[in-house]
């Protein structure tokens, strides 16, 4: 597969983004929703921040204090044998999991799709009990002039839930609350009704059985979802045998709906694949990737906060080119292009 990466990759790095507070540092900017708005490419970026720490004997974790609506810091001693700090993303202590960073959404804007001007302040910041550990992985869908943002809300109290917000101007945002119960994530809303129904991908998880497959659901009002169906599963021994989930918002082509999705192997290598879906019933798969259309190859994709990751929340097709904004190694935002004909020719 011929993948044309920007020679300016990574196009956005942590040092390009101002911290949201004086005691925080930006450790990752990645997994952005992408949309065309007012003649520009607009990215709604996930910005991960960690507490500043000049000590080597402790580790700090940030979280939202619901009563004060401010970020508070909890400290753990690395010498404490009752804590597990093996995973850089998570600290296990007190029979709980704590995230080592907290994420919010920040806007970046560009005329050419490569060189971005980044807002100095967050567009959306954690603000309720469901978002105590942050908000993650936004995907943007425009329907009739309203831009709907589906995202994951993370909390030690409620788990990982799918929430919905909307905006008409990317200045003010209205939260509509939880639309999928825990544990669920990887939500992407189709950009139009199909057969009078809204459709969306999501990825429920089973902690008991370790199942992480891609589902599709229907709604009449965007808030209440039903008719849930398993959409795709990973193949044993294949590139996506660890977990699978949607990537970008699907887009319509003459052959059907095209979805750029993500899959991870059992050793946590994240790649991108594609699936062609029936135009009138997107729960029906016409063909899908036997091999990845894109996998970690460049140093900025292979080495970062989490190694060997390419992960997209935003892509669209223009003049026969699929344009992909993607998170690289959970640290950077990068850009790549792949020919639509080449993608379709690779599907089986």
Per-residue pLDDT tens digits for 163-173? 999 999 999 99
Q: How far apart are CA 316 and CA 189, in angstroms?
A: 14
Q: Is the pLDDT of residue 6 over 80?
A: yes
Q: How far apart are CA 262 and CA 260, in angstroms?
A: 7
Q: Calculate the CA 158 to chain-centre distance.
A: 19
Question: What domains can you pick out in the chain, each with its CATH number?
Answer: 4-346 (2.115.10.20)
- Name the token pair of 92: 């296990």
Cβ neighbours around 122 below 10 Å, total = 16
- Helix, strand or coil, per DSSP, at residue 28: strand
Beta bridge partners of 326: 312, 334
Of residues 277 and 94, the one with the higher pLDDT is: 277
Band of residue 264 on the pLDDT scale cut at 50, 70, 90: very high
Cβ neighbours around 109 below 10 Å, total = 16
Nearest to 276 by CA among 267, 285, 263: 285
Q: Is the pLDDT of residue 208 over 80?
A: no
Q: Is the pLDDT of residue 16 over 90?
A: yes
| Positive or negative: CA dihedral 24, 29, 30, 31 | positive
| Positive or negative: CA dihedral 345, 188, 212, 323 | positive
Element (H, E) at 76: strand 70-77
Lowest-pLDDT choice from 39-53, 205-219, 316-330 = 205-219
For the chain, percent helix, then strand, then coil, each to nearest 5?
A: 5, 55, 40
Instruction: Give me the mean pLDDT over the 12-27 stretch.
Output: 96
Cα atoms in the 13 Å half-sphere on the side-chain side of 238: 18
Band of residue 235 on the pLDDT scale cut at 50, 70, 90: confident
Residues 6+ apart with CB under 8 A from 169: none
Instruction: Give me the mean pLDDT over the 71-100 stretch.
Output: 89
Element (H, E) at 93: strand 90-93
Instruction: Give me the mean pLDDT over the 56-79 stretch.
Output: 92
* Cα→Cα distances 116→109, 265, 320, 333, Å: 5, 32, 24, 11
Q: Is the pLDDT of residue 211 over 90?
A: no
The span from the first CA to the last CA of the chain, in angstroms, equals 14
- Name the token pair of 36: 């065309």
DSSP string, 210-258: --B-EEEEEESSSSSEEEEEEEE-PPTTSTTSSEEEE-SPPEEETTEEE
Lowest-pLDDT choice from 48-62, 169-183, 190-204, 251-265 = 48-62
Q: How far apart are CA 109 and CA 93, in angstroms?
A: 40
At residue 14, what are phi and psi to the nearest 5 degrees?
-55, -40
Band of residue 80 on the pLDDT scale cut at 50, 70, 90: confident
Band of residue 93 on the pLDDT scale cut at 50, 70, 90: confident
Share of the chain above pLDDT 70, in %: 100
Element (H, E) at 50: strand 40-51
Band of residue 300 on the pLDDT scale cut at 50, 70, 90: very high
């Amino acid at each position: 597969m011929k993948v044309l990466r920007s020679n300016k990759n990574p196009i956005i790095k942590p040092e390009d983004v101002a911290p949201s507070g004086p005691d925080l540092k930006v450790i990752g900017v990645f997994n952005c929703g992408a949309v065309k708005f007012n003649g520009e490419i607009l990215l709604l970026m996930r910005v991960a921040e960690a507490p500043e720490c000049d000590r080597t004997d402790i580790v700090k974790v940030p979280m939202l204090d619901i009563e004060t609506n401010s970020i508070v810091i909890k400290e753990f001693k690395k010498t404490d044998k009752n804590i597990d700090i093996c995973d850089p993303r998570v600290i296990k202590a007190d029979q709980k999991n704590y995230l080592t960073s907290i994420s919010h959404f920040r806007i970046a804007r560009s005329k050419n799709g490569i060189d971005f001007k980044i807002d100095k302040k967050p567009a959306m910041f954690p603000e309720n009990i469901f978002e105590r550990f942050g908000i993650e992985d936004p995907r943007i869908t425009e329907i009739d002039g309203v831009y709907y943002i589906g995202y994951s809300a993370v909390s030690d109290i409620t788990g990982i839930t799918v929430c919905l917000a909307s905006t008409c101007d990317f200045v003010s945002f209205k939260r509509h609350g939880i639309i999928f119960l825990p544990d669920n994530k990887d939500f992407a809303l189709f950009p139009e009704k199909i057969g009078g129904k809204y459709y969306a991908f999501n990825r429920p998880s089973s902690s008991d059985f370790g199942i992480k497959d891609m589902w599709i659901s229907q709604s009449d009002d965007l808030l209440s979802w039903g008719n849930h169906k398993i959409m795709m599963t990973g193949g044993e021994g294949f590139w996506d045998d660890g977990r699978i989930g949607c990537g970008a918002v699907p887009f319509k082509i003459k052959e059907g709906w095209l979805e750029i999705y993500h899959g991870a192997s059992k050793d946590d290598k994240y790649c991108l694949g594609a699936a062609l879906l029936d135009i009138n019933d997107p729960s029906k798969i016409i063909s899908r990737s036997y091999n990845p259309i894109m996998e970690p190859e460049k140093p900025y994709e292979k080495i970062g906060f989490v190694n060997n990751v390419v992960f997209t929340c935003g892509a669209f097709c223009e003049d026969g080119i699929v344009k992909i904004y993607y998170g690289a190694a959970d640290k950077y935002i990068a850009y790549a292009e792949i020919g639509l004909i080449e993608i379709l020719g690779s599907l089986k």
